[in-house]
Amino acid sequence: MNANTDKWWVGVVAIILALVGGFSVHFMSDSNGAPAPAASNTSPKAQEAAAPSTPPTAPATQVAAATLVTNDYGRARYDPIHFKPAIDKATDADCLKCHQEVLDSKTRDASPAGLKKTDTLAWYQTLDTYAGEQMTFHQRHLTAPFIKKVATMSCTTCHQGNNPRDEVSGTSADSPTDLTMRKMVDPNLCLRCHGQFPYQNMGLPGPWHESGAAFQNNCLLCHVSIRTNRHKVNYLNAAAIEQEATANGGDSCYGCHGGRAWYRTSFPYPRHAWPGAGATVPDWAKDRPTESDLRFLIEGSKP
Ligand code: HEC
Ligand code: HEC
Ligand code: HEC
Ligand code: HEC
Ligand code: HEC
């Protein structure tokens, strides 16, 4: 259901409720796309307070409509855990209490047109790092063998809270201003591991599939001494990444730095100082931060 339909529906419910006379101001602000659901209408208490007292004579359809927004499903959907600040403290176990299906459900054995999943193979799936059968997106990023070695993502690495009703900013004067259009997760996060290989910044003559051979397809040939202060963020396993690359070569590095590029750009990585780095900052790096995003910093990540 898209946000507009959703709002239209709520508007109608609001009007019906206004007509039966049990309408509260809380509820109205909700139908206007309240910016911070957590603040005004998300907690079960707030919802109870906002729940219209249905007159005993109200027709059945109106009662049904009224319960939709105040029942357990509605409350769970607007549970404060979905939003700031509560989401910052949520553990995976907290989220999985209600969303176990994101890890348990399986991909279809065949597409509706009949193509078996065992007969499809994207080129990146031929890489040595890609193990096992097709999995769902969530499984690939949380439970697949390769990701479990190199990364330590949790639900909140990607999910930072989104407004399920109003998915685009600017739909009304008081709508939230920080929504990533129609996305539950900010794609900038994905870009970190799914961007293009930034060979220009490395002084390499061409993309890795052309220039790699000259370097034995081994990133570490250079990166054993260049930009060595890397990956010290809470969603990556820095030590295991280096082990992987030492044991299995450039594919494991390249996978996250061009090998699975869903985007046409690459992420402007922070440029951490490293031992042996000269004082001159190349032009392309002039605007780069020198630390990882605060949100992802872990203890011991400072040089
Ligand atoms: C109390 C139960 C409950 C908990 C705990 C919970 N959720 Fe939900 N969540 C729901 C319900 C119900 C919905 C609405 C289901 C739907 O639309 O498919 C929902 C919807 C979502 C959606 C879709 C939002 C949208 O725009 O439609 C995401 C993403 C999500 N939850 C992530 C999380 C994450 C991450 C956590 C932990 C921080 C979490 N949930 C914790 C019950 C819960
Ligand atoms: C790698 C990033 C990433 C991680 C980690 C992640 N999610 Fe998601 N999740 C997404 C994306 C992307 C979507 C689809 C968003 C959209 O459609 O805009 C999504 C969708 C969802 C939805 C909506 C229903 C669905 O299945 O499409 C729920 C619920 C959800 N995630 C819960 C979780 C929970 C719980 C966890 C932790 C166990 C989790 N996610 C971990 C990126 C992630
Ligand atoms: C920390 C790095 C990282 C982040 C962040 C990340 N991914 Fe991935 N993604 C990977 C890795 C690694 C694989 C391949 C895992 C494997 O081979 O088992 C992958 C695989 C995929 C696949 C292929 C899944 C399959 O089974 O064929 C898709 C699609 C994808 N990612 C989309 C996304 C999107 C969308 C986001 C942002 C919401 C995202 N990724 C964020 C590292 C990441
Ligand atoms: C010929 C040496 C060389 C090889 C081989 C090489 N790199 Fe680099 N790389 C560099 C240099 C030089 C820089 C830029 C250093 C600086 O910041 O001044 C760099 C920067 C990077 C950056 C940061 C880019 C940015 O925009 O901040 C990433 C990521 C990276 N390399 C990944 C890789 C991966 C993955 C491989 C293998 C697939 C690889 N490199 C192979 C020399 C190399
Ligand atoms: C699982 C995905 C993944 C793998 C595997 C991976 N990287 Fe990264 N790399 C990232 C992410 C995400 C960042 C940005 C981290 C941050 O924000 O500080 C990054 C940052 C970097 C940077 C920028 C360093 C700086 O100054 O902060 C370099 C250079 C780099 N990687 C090289 C490599 C090399 C070389 C390998 C193989 C040994 C490798 N990467 C393997 C995901 C990966």
141 CA to centre of ligand 3 in angstroms: 6
Instruction: Convert the pLDDT of each residue in 140-189 to its tens digit.
Output: 999 999 999 999 999 999 999 888 888 788 888 887 777 787 789 999 99
Ligand 2 atom at minimum distance from 98 CA? 35
Tens of pLDDT, residue by residue over 217-240, are: 999 999 999 999 999 999 999 999
Give 141-149's long-range contacts (Cβ < 8 A, gap of 24+): 142/103, 143/103, 146/255, 149/237, 149/240, 149/244
The reported pLDDT for the residue numbered 134 is: 87
> What is the mean pLDDT of the segment spanning 200-227?
95
Whether pLDDT at 112 is above 70: yes
What is the spatial distance between Cα 70 and Cα 90, in angstroms, rounded to a whole number? 24
64 has a pLDDT exceeding 50: no
User: Residue of the nearest CA to atom 2 in ligand 4?
Assistant: 222
Segments making up each domain of the chain, as ranges: 3-82, 190-296
At 121, the amino acid letter reads L
b/e map 244-279, b = 16+ CB within 10 Å: bbeeebbbbbbbbbbbbbeeeebbbbebbeeeeeee
pTM: 0.85
- To test the pocket of ligand 4, the residue of 223, 265, 284, 292 to mutate (highest count of ligand atoms within 8 Å of its CB) is 223
Question: Which residues does residue 151 pair with via DSSP β-bridges, in sequence order?
Answer: 236
Which amino acid makes up residue 118? T
pLDDT of residue 263: 96
**Which of ligand 5's atoms lies nearest the C-alpha of 293?**
17
Nearest of 178, 149, 177 to residue 256 by alpha carbon? 149
Distance in angstroms (rounded) separating the CA atoms of residues 13 and 61 = 10
pLDDT tens digits along 13-62: 444 544 444 333 333 333 333 333 433 344 444 444 444 444 444 444 44
